[in-house]
Structures are given as C-alpha cells and as structure tokens.
A and B are shown apart, each in its own frame.
Chain A
Amino acid sequence: MSRAFSLRVELPLGAFALAVELDSSARRLGIFGPSGAGKTTLLEAVAGWRAVRAGRIEVAGSVLYDAARGFALAPERRGLGYVPQEGLLFPHLDVRANLTAGLARAWRRDGDPRALFGRVVEVLELGALLTRRPATLSGGERQRVALARALCSGPEALLLDEPLASLDLALRRRILPYLVRVGEEFDLPMLYVAHDPIEVAVLCDEVVRLEHGRVVAQGPPADVFASVWRAERLEGAPENVLRGVVRENRGDVARVALTDEVALEVSAAELAPGTRVVLGIPADEILVATRRPEGLSARNVLAAVLVALDASRPGVVARARLEPDGPSLDVLLSRASTESLGLAPGARLFLVLKSNSVRVLSALAPSA
C-alpha cells in the first residue's frame, strides 16, 4: 500500500499562513489541534473548495493538485466524500434525494449504486428517515445523513471535519460507533479532523497535531496525546484506548479479549459475545503492584512489563505492556509511589483495574 496521504499545502490564512507538510501511510489519519490551527482550511484545500498558493496534494494514490505542474483537479473530479461540521444537507431535498445527489458518480465508478445506497442506509440505520426533510432531523440524524451522502457518492476517500462537534457528549458517544462501523465496512482512507482526543484514538491509526497552520507532531494517537498532555499540563489523566472483542457475558460483566491471550473484564451488561468494542481506561484508575495481589474485589489483575517511565510532569506516566504481547497502557502514578516501589524499565508488574473503570467508547454488534 502506497502513501494514503501526501499533503503539501501552503495558503494565506488570516494572521498566519497554512504551511502543512505531511506524509502518512495510515489509512485513517486524525488531524487534531486547537481551534484556529487551520484544520478545516486544510480539509477545504484538499477538497478543492479553497485556492492553494503552492504545494501538492495526493490522496490514496491520486494527485489532486500540483502547483509545480499548474495542475488542479476540479472539486467534482477529486472523488472525495466531504462531511462538514455543520452537515450542509441540501435543505430543499428530502433525505433520500440528499443521499442520491452524488449517486451519478458512484454509478460511473462501479456500476451498482443501488446496492451501495442500500448498504449505506443499512449501516447508518437511515431507513426510517428517507422521506424526511433536513429541517425536521435531529443533530445526530443530520450528521448520519451527511456521512451517508458522502458514502453514497462512491468516494475514493473521506474527509471528515469534526462531524460530531455540534452534538452533545452523550450523542457523540452514540454516533461514534457508526463512524467506526463506516471505517470498517467501507475501508476508505479517511482524514478525520477532531477536537476530542478520544474520537481520534478510537477512529484513527495515526494522528497529526496541527498548530498555527503547521504540523507539530505525528505518530500513534496514544503517543501524540501523551505528549500533548505533558506539554499543555492538561487536567485529568490521559485516556488509554484499547480494541477488543467480547468473548462472553456473565450477566453484569463481559469478558473482552484484547489479544488471544490477554483479556479484560468490563462492566457492561448489554454486550453480546462477538461484539467488537473500543474501550477507554483513564490512566489514573489503574493501580500498580510489583507482586501478584490476592483477595481483591477488582476483576482485573494483568501481568505487564514496564516499558518506559516519564517523570517530566508532577505525576509520573508509566507505560506498561500487557503480557504476553498485549497492548500498552499508560498509568499515572505519584513520584513517591514510583520511588517506594523502585520502578524502573523492564520491571515486571501487575496492573489492577476495576471492571467499572473501563468505559465502552464504541460497540459494534456482530453483523448478522
């Protein structure tokens, strides 16, 4: 697989200039940063909504813009599905007509737009909304329709500009699984702009941090967020985001396999076996022991190896890899307990975690 995104974008932007240089082979790339950093502008430049002063834009192997050759593809020929923050549904068309507005391109591309339409409507659960007008939809419905409309146009890649930003937190958590499902079902390269680190961690393989129009960090979401957390002295603790599959459910506790050999118990009565979940664990809700503790009410005692210690903040962030060969977790400790336990990289640890400290960020029921 070649680079999914290769972006060189220069354009004047208010008080400063957008000057992005970015290569990534991640299929799902998050763009994260403070408001006014140029995130939306970057997306609009990629979509061809905005004139670019210099640069080159390549998405999923297609060159969309190349200043050196004086080449700029018209927006309608870029093959991108754009989902803006405000949805931008066509107010004069009902939901069905909104969804089919771009169907002609899907038809030119692979012949069976009706099947695509059916699949999108099913995945995003829009069947009951097809005859409604945008003005009568709720915020969450509107964003699902905007996402569906982009998918129905048969795009080569998706550009998502804070599609959940206009929704309240509870609704965001309800819509997030749809985005996860879209990512898995349609397997399109995706540029995802977000404010919320958890959304990016759940959806993206890699994240870029944009500040004042420039890329200041790029890497796996956990690393970028940990560094931002350190640099900005954010309140609270970094959130660990893990993926897994529900193996069994014993009434109030579900057992989620993270790998073949590592599993977590999670308080979640409603999760059926086979459900794919994304879990969030705050770094300050994990206890560390150097010997296997016994007689605990906490459901999870996980063997781990200390990989790194970062003491550059008042609290210490210990990164521990679950054994054998599991994912890594960041644990927030005090300096005093780090010293009294004599923690050093390479140390064998046990991580203790209550089943109700684990939040289910996204759950995808097994497809029928």
Chain B
Amino acid sequence: MAGTTTIEVLLVTLRVAAGATALVALPAIALGHALARRAFPGRSVVETLVALPLVLPPTAIGYLLLELFARHGPLGSETLGFDPGVLFSLRGAILASAVVSFPLAARTARVAFEGVEPRLEHMGRSLGLSRAATFARITLPLARRGLLAALLLGFSRALGEFGATVIVAGNIPGRTQTLALAIFSDIQLSDTRHALELVGLCVVLAFATVFAVERLLRRDAR
C-alpha cells in the first residue's frame, strides 16, 4: 500500500519538476544570454527582479500567484473568460515550481554564456555566419555544459519546492502531492516510517542532480 503511494508521489514530483524545467528552459536561456551579452536600459532592474524569487519566502510567491489566478484576479477565470486551470492542479504545481526555479536557471545560464569567449563569436560572424547561425553553431555548443547545469539546477530546485506549491496547488495526494508535500503530510500524521522512506528518496534524487551539476560545471571550467 505504502509502496504504490511512494511511486505515485515520486511520479507527481518528477512530472512537476520536469514540467517546470521545460517551462523555464527557453526564457531562462534567453534572459541569461541577454544579461551576459547585451547592454540595455534597465538591465540592473531586470537583474534584481530576476533574483527576487531567490530571496522572497516561497509562501509569499505562492500567495502572489494565488491572487493572480484567483477568480477575480488579473489572470482569473472571470477576467480571462475561461478557467486557466491553475489553482489546485498539477498545472499550478508546475507553475509555482517554475517561478521559483527560474532565477536559479537564468543566473546559471548567464554564467554559462559569460564563459564563452566573445572573440569566437566575432570570428563566426567574420566567416559569414549570421547572428543566429553564430549563436546556434558557436555560442550554444560552447555554453552547452553550463546551460545543462542551469536546467538541472532549476530541476533540482523544483524537486524540493514546498511553500509556493502548497499555496497554489494544495496538497492533493496523486495530483499535486510532491515528495516535499508528502513528507509534511506524513509528519502531520506521525507516519514517520513513510516519511523517512520519502526523505531517503529525496536525498538520492538531490544527490544525483547536484552531483551531475557539479560534474558539468567542473569540466566546463577546464
């Protein structure tokens, strides 16, 4: 009985983390590149805004999202004319995790792009490659490891998300209950055995992703 629940929890967790990573990937890479390579007005404001979710309590972020998607909120069903289906759903859990993961992914992506020698990009252009082709054939492959690390970091942050998720998506077993939420429930219900099992699982997952990130970043620095 507990076994199936554990697998269910694991599946929901992976689905949430993968969904959040997919949602975050393109915007984080785009923003990371812009911050690394372009000077634009308001750059430092953007940088600060991007860092905000790192320091704000996740519950505060969750509450903001809740207000945003509440029935009468700016993105609520009344305003939009349809139900975006975010609150108390898998979609909500993914969105909440994505918002919290985004700064970590974007900042790591920025570092990855800053590690690419700009003169190599100039060289690509001088060989007749357009800006886009230079990005695709020179910049992206050279930043590849750092970008992969950025996505993995985002993924691992999403794995452990609790505060924002519980407020936006609730704690619904089989639907929005991720590992972090299930551990909380188990402790509330004094099911310490099951809680410990889940904690063990968390440690294994966290170890694997952080280990992979470290390896990627280390070889990248070579």
- B124 — nearest CB in chain A belongs to which residue? A101
Q: Given the known A-B contacts A101-B127, A105-B128, A153-B127, are A75 and B141 also in contact in the complex, defined by CB atoms under 8 Å? A: no
Question: B110-134 toward A: CB 8 Å interface, digit per residue (1/0)?
Answer: 0000000101101111111111001
- Asked whether any CB of chain B lies closer than 8 Å to the CB of A102, the reply is yes
For the complex, would chain B's binding face be called helix, strand, loop or mixed by DSSP majority?
A: helix
- Asked whether any CB of chain B lies closer than 8 Å to the CB of A82, the reply is yes
Q: What total of chain A residues lie within 8 Å of the partner, measured CB to CB? A: 26
In the bound complex, CA of A91 to CA of B125 (Å): 16
Shortest Cβ gap from B192 to chain A (Å): 50
Question: A44-55 toward B: CB 8 Å interface, digit per residue (1/0)?
Answer: 100111000000
In the bound complex, CA of A88 to CA of B125 (Å): 13
Q: Which of A181-220 contact B (CB under 8 A)?
A: none
A-B contact pairs, 13 of them (CB 8 A): A48-B125, A76-B125, A76-B130, A76-B134, A79-B128, A84-B119, A90-B124, A91-B142, A92-B142, A101-B137, A102-B127, A153-B126, A153-B127
Question: A21-52 toward B: CB 8 Å interface, digit per residue (1/0)?
Answer: 00000000000000000000000100111000
Q: Given the known A-B contacts A90-B138, A92-B141, are A49 and B122 also in contact in the complex, defined by CB atoms under 8 Å? A: yes
Q: What total of chain B residues lie within 8 Å of the partner, measured CB to CB? A: 18
On chain B, the residues within 8 Å of A84 by CB distance are 119, 123
Contact (Cβ within 8 A) B123 A153:
no
- Asked whether any CB of chain B lies closer than 8 Å to the CB of A254, the reply is no
Shortest Cβ gap from A65 to chain B (Å): 14
In the bound complex, CA of A17 to CA of B141 (Å): 37
Shortest Cβ gap from B112 to chain A (Å): 14
In the bound complex, CA of A149 to CA of B123 (Å): 10
Question: B191-211 toward A: CB 8 Å interface, digit per residue (1/0)?
Answer: 000000000000000000000
- B130 — nearest CB in chain A belongs to which residue? A76
Contact (Cβ within 8 A) A78 B138:
no
In the bound complex, CA of A88 to CA of B122 (Å): 10
On chain A, the residues within 8 Å of B137 by CB distance are 101
In the bound complex, CA of A48 to CA of B122 (Å): 9
From B123, B128, B131, B134, A88 is in contact (CB under 8 Å) with B123
On chain B, the residues within 8 Å of A104 by CB distance are 128-129
A-B pairs, 4 with minimum CB distance:
A105-B128, A102-B127, A75-B125, A49-B122
On chain A, the residues within 8 Å of B126 by CB distance are 47-49, 75-76, 78, 80-82, 153
Q: Which of A75-123 contact B (CB under 8 A)?
A: 75-82, 84, 88, 90-92, 101-102, 104-105, 108
- A105 — nearest CB in chain B belongs to which residue? B128
Contact (Cβ within 8 A) B129 A101:
yes
Shortest Cβ gap from B144 to chain A (Å): 8
In the bound complex, CA of A90 to CA of B119 (Å): 10
On chain A, the residues within 8 Å of B125 by CB distance are 48, 74-76
On chain A, the residues within 8 Å of B138 by CB distance are 90
Q: Given the known A-B contacts A102-B128, A102-B129, A105-B128, are A82 and B123 also in contact in the complex, defined by CB atoms under 8 Å? A: yes
In the bound complex, CA of A76 to CA of B131 (Å): 8
On chain A, the residues within 8 Å of B131 by CB distance are 74, 76
Contact (Cβ within 8 A) A153 B142:
no
- B127 — nearest CB in chain A belongs to which residue? A102
Q: Which of A60-74 contact B (CB under 8 A)?
A: 74
Shortest Cβ gap from B189 to chain A (Å): 52
Contact (Cβ within 8 A) A47 B122:
yes
On chain A, the residues within 8 Å of B141 by CB distance are 92
Contact (Cβ within 8 A) B127 A88:
no
In the bound complex, CA of A104 to CA of B119 (Å): 20
Contact (Cβ within 8 A) B122 A75:
yes
In the bound complex, CA of A264 to CA of B137 (Å): 52
Beyond the given A75-B122, A80-B126, A84-B123, please list 4 additional residue pairs across the A-B interface where CB-CB is below 8 A.
A76-B127, A76-B131, A90-B138, A90-B142
Shortest Cβ gap from A6 to chain B (Å): 20
Contact (Cβ within 8 A) A88 B142:
no
Shortest Cβ gap from B125 to chain A (Å): 4
Shortest Cβ gap from A357 to chain B (Å): 42
Shortest Cβ gap from A81 to chain B (Å): 8
Contact (Cβ within 8 A) A88 B120:
yes
Shortest Cβ gap from A270 to chain B (Å): 37
